[in-house]
């Protein structure tokens, strides 16, 4: 992110030969491994504590995907943006707007569901495109531009209508209730869509030219430009992807909650960014894995389920736990990128 001028973006510049610890800390996969280990540890702790309450059932694990599918998709979009060294604060608002827009189109305007869905995705992607265009062409900080996007989309929700619209369309409710059996348990359509998005994002980031450009720009924009990479186009594309993912997340959220409400998903951009960071993506850009984001979302989801199983803990512990985890992972990241400072 360009909000700072003084943050050292250069990677390691060690003079001493790297020790074992330094090699370990220098491994880019370390944060993902830490997150995966943390997830396993939390899961095992949950198992031993709530075994008698049915925590061990495979469905509890699968529910993590069902209950957090929308967050997963939103976090994938955030991962793209953060990898490219930017930030997108408009995620939550776009999600809220999509639920509102689709519900309004289907319920109040009688537009066929499919058309409404396509329109919503288009609007989300176009919003992202516009923000990327402004960021790239007018050199305004992503933070401010996407902040304006946050206000704009949340405002548009309220312009559509101030009240919540529940969706009674039969195909929506049947879609929402469809469960695909996996033998051990079942997944909802939303969860499957989220997994597909993860797979596609994995392919795009690691096996296509576009993916490499995203990493290159996040690593060092100047070098990427000097290498002749189409840095402007890539940047705009990244925000478009994020807008599209947010809109898709909005559709999944709508499927999950079956209503449109102007106050849906307030502050979800923070969850998405937190999941990405916990998943080991460097906020300076250029380093991270979409699989890490998957684990990041799962860890956040697991915190919520554990708090539910515990029963006596209040919901605000989720926020505190998220903050503590965020802090821990930022410090790990810092240890990884530290260079010798006098």
| Site for other proteins, rule CB under 8 A | 1-8, 87, 134, 137-141, 143-145, 147-152, 154-156, 158-159, 162, 270, 273-274, 277, 283-284, 314-320, 322-324, 326-327, 330-331, 334, 338, 341
Please say whether the beta carbons of 194 and 137 come within 8 A: no
In the numeric block, the tokens 């189109």 are attached to 105
Q: Please say which residue, 108 or 209, places its beta carbon nearer to other proteins.
A: 108
Q: Please say which residue, 169 or 310, places its beta carbon nearer to other proteins.
A: 310
Q: Please say which residue, 73 or 156, places its beta carbon nearer to other proteins.
A: 156
Strands (E), 109-247: 165-166, 179-181, 186-188
* Of the candidates 96, 93, 149, the residue with the CA atom closest to the CA atom of residue 264: 96
Quick check: helix, strand or coil at residue 11? coil
Q: Closest separation between CB of residue 284 and other proteins, Å?
A: 7
User: Residue 190 is encoded by which pair of tokens?
Assistant: 């939303």
Please say whether the beta carbons of 150 and 92 come within 8 A: yes
Q: Closest separation between CB of residue 214 and other proteins, Å?
A: 19
Q: Closest separation between CB of residue 300 and other proteins, Å?
A: 11
Q: Please say which residue, 117 or 145, places its beta carbon nearer to other proteins.
A: 145
Q: Closest separation between CB of residue 69 and other proteins, Å?
A: 21
Whole-number Cα distances in Å, 133 to 221, 234, 288 = 16, 11, 25
Q: Closest separation between CB of residue 138 and other proteins, Å?
A: 4
> What are residue 180's DSSP bridge partners?
187
End-to-end CA distance of the chain, in Å? 24
Q: Please say which residue, 42 or 175, places its beta carbon nearer to other proteins.
A: 42
């Amino acid at each position: 992110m360009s909000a700072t001028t003084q943050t050292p973006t250069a990677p390691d510049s060690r003079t001493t030969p790297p020790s074992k610890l330094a090699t370990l800390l220098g491994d880019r996969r370390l944060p993902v491994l830490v997150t995966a280990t943390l997830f396993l540890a939390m899961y095992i702790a949950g198992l031993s504590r709530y075994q008698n309450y049915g925590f061990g059932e495979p469905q509890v694990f699968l529910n993590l995907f069902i209950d957090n599918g929308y967050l997963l998709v939103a976090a994938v979009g955030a991962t793209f943006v953060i990898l490219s060294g930017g930030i997108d604060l408009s995620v939550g608002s776009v999600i809220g707007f999509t639920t509102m827009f689709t519900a309004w189109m289907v319920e109040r305007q009688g537009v066929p569901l499919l058309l409404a869905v396509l329109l919503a995705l288009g609007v989300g992607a176009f919003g992202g495109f516009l923000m990327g265009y402004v960021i790239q062409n007018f050199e305004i900080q992503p933070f401010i531009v996407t902040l304006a996007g946050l206000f704009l989309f949340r405002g548009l929700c309220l312009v559509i209508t101030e009240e919540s619209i529940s969706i009674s369309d039969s195909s929506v409710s049947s879609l929402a209730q469809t469960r695909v059996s996996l033998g051990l348990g079942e997944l909802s359509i939303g969860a499957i869509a989220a997994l597909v998005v993860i797979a596609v994002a994995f392919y795009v980031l690691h096996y296509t030219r576009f993916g490499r450009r995203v990493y290159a720009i996040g690593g060092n924009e100047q070098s990427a430009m000097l290498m002749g990479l189409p840095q402007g186009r890539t940047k705009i594309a990244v925000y478009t992807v994020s807008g599209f993912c947010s809109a898709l997340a909005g559709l999944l959220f709508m499927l999950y909650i079956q209503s449109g409400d102007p106050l849906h998903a307030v502050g979800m951009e923070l969850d998405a960014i937190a999941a990405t960071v916990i998943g080991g993506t460097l906020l300076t850009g250029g380093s991270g894995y979409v699989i890490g984001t998957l684990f990041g979302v799962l860890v956040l989801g697991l915190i919520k389920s554990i708090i539910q199983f515990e029963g006596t803990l209040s919901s605000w512990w989720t926020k505190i736990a998220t903050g503590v985890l965020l802090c821990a992972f930022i410090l790990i990241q810092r240890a990884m990128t530290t260079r010798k400072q006098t």
